[in-house]
Amino acid sequence: MQRFAYVLLVIFVLTSCGRVGGSPPPTGDASPPSNNALTTDAVSRAITAELWSDNWTALYVDETLIKEDSVSFTTERSFNSEVFSFDATYPLHFNVILKDYIQNDTGLEYIGTDRQQIGDGGFIAQFSDTATGKRIAVTDSSWKCIPIHIAPLDPACAAEANPVAGQGACTNTILPEPANWKNPTFDDSAWPVATVYDAQAVDPKEGYDNISWDPRAQFIWGPDLKTNNTILCRVTIQAP
């Protein structure tokens, strides 16, 4: 009986000192574990976007489609502006697909008529904090833009009586969208910066005057307003 009582006493002492069933309890200098590494101060904000394009735009935040142009891409003279709001969290990763209307891969429009020609494009946008009205971003040379549909490679295509895509003066360059290009981690360091144009070069029409434009907002596109028919553009906006 005495031996049994002694064993119970030893177990009690070892357990009290933290030597049975785990490590010793923390000393008075130890701090409790922090959850700061698991938290974020990111707050969703309401953002107002104002866009104008010739002819068609699709805006994404990361890989989520926010707004696609409400006027069909195939509508003749589909110039229009879009004003809308959405919720997003900083940093904002804007990805935009821009398209100028073309009838086919020749890059021409009004084929077979006396108006057969190479069209031209243009895009301008501004973004504001909906609650405060503070401007947080505009289109300018800080955007990265790469053309993936270029046609025709020879302007003489516009004078062809029977233009055929990929033949003669109507050759083209057509590339797929880069894999994962809308992902925030995508490396766009090799992409050129957007080419900036003035209003005279773009000659904006219907819808443009419906918006009061920030003087800092600039028209952007690829390096050629006429032959760059599909453009991908990206920009990251940090919290103000």
Model pLDDT for residues 137-192, shown as the tens digit of each residue:
999 999 999 999 999 999 999 999 999 999 999 999 999 999 999 999 999 999 99
Q: What one-character DSSP code corresponds to residue 193?
A: B
Residue 78's pLDDT is 66
Residues 6+ apart with CB under 8 A from 187: none
Pairing status of strand 135-138 against strand 44-54: unpaired
More confident: 158 or 16: 158
Coil vs helix vs strand at 169: helix
Residue ranges covered by each domain of the chain = 47-237
Query: Binning pLDDT at 50, 70 and 90, where does residue 9 land?
Result: very low
Residue whose structure tokens are 């000659």 = 203
Task: Count CB neighbours of 99 within 10 A.
Answer: 20
Residue 15's pLDDT is 38
pLDDT at 56 over 70: yes
User: Is 104 in contact with 111 (CB distance < 8 Å)?
Assistant: yes
More confident: 147 or 74: 147
Query: Binning pLDDT at 50, 70 and 90, where does residue 43 land?
Result: confident
Residue 33's pLDDT is 34
Coil vs helix vs strand at 219: strand
Beta strands in the chain (DSSP E): 44-54, 56-61, 64-68, 80-89, 92-99, 108-109, 117-118, 122-129, 135-138, 144-150, 173-174, 195-197, 219-221, 228-237
Rounded mean pLDDT of 99-104? 94
Residue whose structure tokens are 């200098």 = 29
Q: How many Cα neighbours within 13 Å face the side chain of 201?
A: 16
pLDDT at 215 over 80: yes
pLDDT, the chain, mean:
85
More confident: 37 or 133: 133
Query: Binning pLDDT at 50, 70 and 90, where does residue 80 land?
Result: confident
Q: Give how far the C-alpha of residue 26 lies from the chain's centroid of Cα atoms, to the nearest Å.
A: 49
Query: Binning pLDDT at 50, 70 and 90, where does residue 70 land?
Result: confident
Q: Say how far apart CA 211 and CA 221 lie, in whole Å.
A: 20
User: Is 128 in contact with 92 (CB distance < 8 Å)?
Assistant: no
Q: Say how far apart CA 151 and CA 171 lie, in whole Å.
A: 7
Q: Which of 27-31, 117-121, 142-146, 224-228 has the lowest mean pLDDT?
A: 27-31
Rounded mean pLDDT of 232-240? 95
Residue 114's pLDDT is 95
Q: Which of 17-31, 37-51, 85-99, 195-209 has the lowest mean pLDDT?
A: 17-31
Match domain 47-237 to its CATH number in 2.60.120, 3.30.70, 3.40.50, 3.90.930: 2.60.120
Query: Binning pLDDT at 50, 70 and 90, where does residue 32 land?
Result: very low
Q: Say how far apart CA 123 and CA 147 lie, in whole Å.
A: 13
Q: How many Cα neighbours within 13 Å face the side chain of 136?
A: 26
Residue 77's pLDDT is 60
Residue 223's pLDDT is 98
User: Is 175 in contact with 148 (CB distance < 8 Å)?
Assistant: yes
* Angle subtended at Cα 74 by Cα 51 and Cα 115, rounded to the nearest 5 degrees: 105
